[in-house]
Chain A
Amino acid sequence: MKHYELAVKFYKEKGPRHDKSLWTIRQKRDKAIKEVPEWESLRVQASEIKDYVIENLQDLVDEFIKNAKNAGIEVVFAKDAQEHNQTVLKYLKEINAKKVVKSKSMLTEECGLNEFLEKNGIEVIDTDLGERIVQLRGEKPSHIVLPAIHTTKEDVAEILGEENTDPTYLTHKMRELLRKEFLSADAGLSGANFLVADKGWAVVCTNEGNADLGAVLPPLHIISVGVEKLVPNMNDLGVFLRMLARNATGQKITTYTSIFGKKENGKRVIVLVDNGRFERLNSEFKETLKCIRCSACLTTCPVFRRSGGHAYRYVIPGPIGSLLAPLSDKEKYKDLPFACTLCSSCEMVCPVKIPFSKQLVKMREYVTKENIALKLAEKSMHHPQAFKLFSTILRLTPKPVLKTALKEWSRYKALPKIPKKRFISL
């Protein structure tokens, strides 16, 4: 099914509530960023740091690998999703791991790690509350920071087999269940929000501390992270840490912001993943590599708020997903760049100033084959006489025929009345 069919279905079930919850978060975000007088200059700074990162990506990768090794972390470079999954499996097999606790990582979703490990006999427990809810529901996250925003407290009670739908009660219940998993896991898996090149450290931001438990309790901690998450140094990291949570949910900073170097009670491995990122550097979509996955573009998108994340069918939904999905499968996701009104709200909230509207327009061109009717219309508009003929034909077309041609329009709204005379008439 395409975006529009899934969106209609979602809206009729849950749209108004979803729109309202996410708009509330957008308002919290607006209030929080206004507490920072230099917000707009921080955006400029963040954008410039990211421009530097993508222009010098290979050098930063080399620097990071060298420094991480010096810091006592093993680093493996994986060229694609398959190599990433095999590497993770290899490290887990080494210690004969049966169960792993995972904290949220969009990269492992991109690589299909959960399914891969399950097939290889390893149990994966997602430990982020929202992520665990969607895992138990057999779904994928519908939002990159609020993975279960499409569900209700009743949905959560149902998957836990509880009658009590009180959110605090359900949260405690889930914590009780997850605590047992943390204590019996053989390894912890997580993503990373940033990698600091000149230190060789990984930075993980969560609100539940689940990544920290997974990083500290079991003897092995594996971090899966894309190469674009590099920042040059700690000063640059500061810029992003000030922006990430504030822009995502309106918090001042994430509750847990942890910097990981050498693991004291065991081994830490970083799997540094390319999976098409270096290739994208040379494309007209390289600015998508600046994304820090704060999710603000999803939350603010008026289409996303009404259609829900699953309508996008890709691991990363919303405006940034509409740019990333067609790069992974042009044919399958060619409708996504059109699931957008080009309102540019995403561009206004983007902390690294990705030029969304321009990129989405380019993406429309990238996924679209030349349309003969539109080509003719375009040609006619080069000649005022031809254009006039074109519009005269349109005027002479009987209304029922027009209505059929414009059925998506006339299904929901009255067609405009066509006046007899034009302003410029030849």
Chain B
Amino acid sequence: MKIALHVPCYINELNPEIARKTLLILRHFGLNVSVPKNQTCCGQPFINSGQPTTLPEQFNEIFKDYEYIVSPSSSCTSTIRSQELEVSKKMYELCEFLHDILQVRDIAKNYPKKIALHNSCHSIRHLLEGAPSELNIPYFNKVKKVLGGEIVEAKRDECCGFGGVFSVKEGFISYVMGRSKLDDLISTGGEVITGVDFSCLMHLKGIAEKDGDDIEIKHISEIIYESIFGEEK
């Protein structure tokens, strides 16, 4: 299996550990994973700002020869999947790939802390990695299946309020949405908040830090990594 790791540009800049851990997780499953050096961005920030961009086409050129492209971000995955490109059907969010292709289950079953899962909109509404409450379909959640054990979810599966350009244009409403999401997640009794999108988590983390909430927030790749290799000292 020829697999490429997609390193989202903002993860490369702001939390490269997520990319490193994702790579090590994939290698742990015996996969031959390449990291194309010339990758930069899928084009999402420009598309969402209403600016013309040819970055998705460039993305296609860089990744089209791989069988699968795995990304630790559902929003980048959804951006590429909504384009009509050769790579569109080959790109997977990490948990989606672990669930659908590698059939991984219960990997974090013995995780020492109670996990509160933030279902990001790009994960459950764009990629259908779980059943959004608006649809009349049976409940399922691939991320929970992959992790296993007791995972708690927020009462409202609504947006955390980040929305990229939205958080810049409407800082206050973005904040109050993030605040209610944090309150909702904290009230579940979870000891660590996780999710598949670092962007939502970065937003929640920023609010938690400024408001002085005592809650741990980790990207899903960190939870999976620790479940496989143990916590790094």
Give the interface of A toward B (CB within 8 A). Answer: 3-4, 7-8, 11, 15, 19, 23, 30, 33-34, 36-37, 39-40, 300, 302-303, 306-307, 335, 337-345, 347-349, 357-358, 361, 363-368, 370-371, 374-375, 377-378, 381-382, 384, 387, 391, 394, 406, 408-409, 411-416, 418-419, 421-424, 426
Contacts and interface: CB of A to CB of B under 8 A. Distances in A.
A305 B197 CA distance: 24
Most chain A CB inside 10 Å of its own CB: which residue of B11, B16, B50, B134: B50
Contacts of B152: none
Most chain B CB inside 10 Å of its own CB: which residue of A8, A11, A342, A416: A342
B173 A406 contact: no
Contact of A419 (B15, B40, B47, B133): B15
B140 interface: no
A302 B168 contact: no
Given A342-B48, A414-B209, A307 B173 contact: yes
A371 B136 contact: no
Contact of B176 (A11, A339, A344, A370): A11
B174 interface: yes
Given A306-B177, A412-B172, A423 B20 contact: yes
B163 A340 contact: yes
Most chain A CB inside 10 Å of its own CB: which residue of B19, B136, B170: B170
A7 B52 CA distance: 29
B227 to A, nearest CB: 21
Interface string B156-183: 1011011111111111111111101000
A348 B168 contact: no
Interface residues of B, number: 68
Interface in B38-92: 38-41, 43, 46-55, 58, 82
Contacts of B35: 424
A418 B58 CA distance: 27
27 contacts: A7-B173, A30-B133, A338-B170, A341-B121, A341-B163, A341-B177, A342-B48, A342-B121, A343-B163, A357-B126, A361-B48, A363-B50, A364-B49, A364-B50, A365-B52, A368-B51, A371-B49, A371-B51, A378-B46, A382-B55, A384-B38, A408-B169, A413-B206, A413-B209, A413-B210, A416-B202, A416-B206
A418 B166 contact: no
A302 B49 contact: no
Most chain A CB inside 10 Å of its own CB: which residue of B19, B47, B168, B176: B176
Contact of A341 (B7, B133, B161): B161
**8 A-B pairs with least C-beta separation:** A341-B163, A413-B206, A364-B50, A368-B50, A423-B16, A348-B134, A408-B171, A343-B159
B206 A409 contact: yes
Q: Is the interface of A mostly helix, strand, loop or mixed?
A: helix
B186 interface: no
A222 B173 CA distance: 42
Contact of B40 (A36, A357, A387, A414): A387
Nearest to B198: A416
Given A345-B132, A378-B55, A391-B13, 16 more contacts: A4-B170, A4-B173, A302-B159, A303-B170, A341-B162, A341-B166, A348-B132, A348-B135, A365-B50, A366-B50, A382-B54, A387-B9, A387-B41, A412-B172, A412-B174, A412-B206
Nearest to B18: A423
Contacts of A347: 125
A306 to B, nearest CB: 5
A367 B11 CA distance: 30
B220 to A, nearest CB: 17
Contacts of A15: 176
B76 to A, nearest CB: 13
A419 B198 CA distance: 15
A341 B159 contact: yes
B159 A40 contact: no
A36 B137 CA distance: 11
B53 A378 contact: yes
A343 B168 contact: no
A345 B125 contact: yes
A413 B82 contact: no
Given A344-B125, A370-B51, A424-B7, A419 B175 contact: no
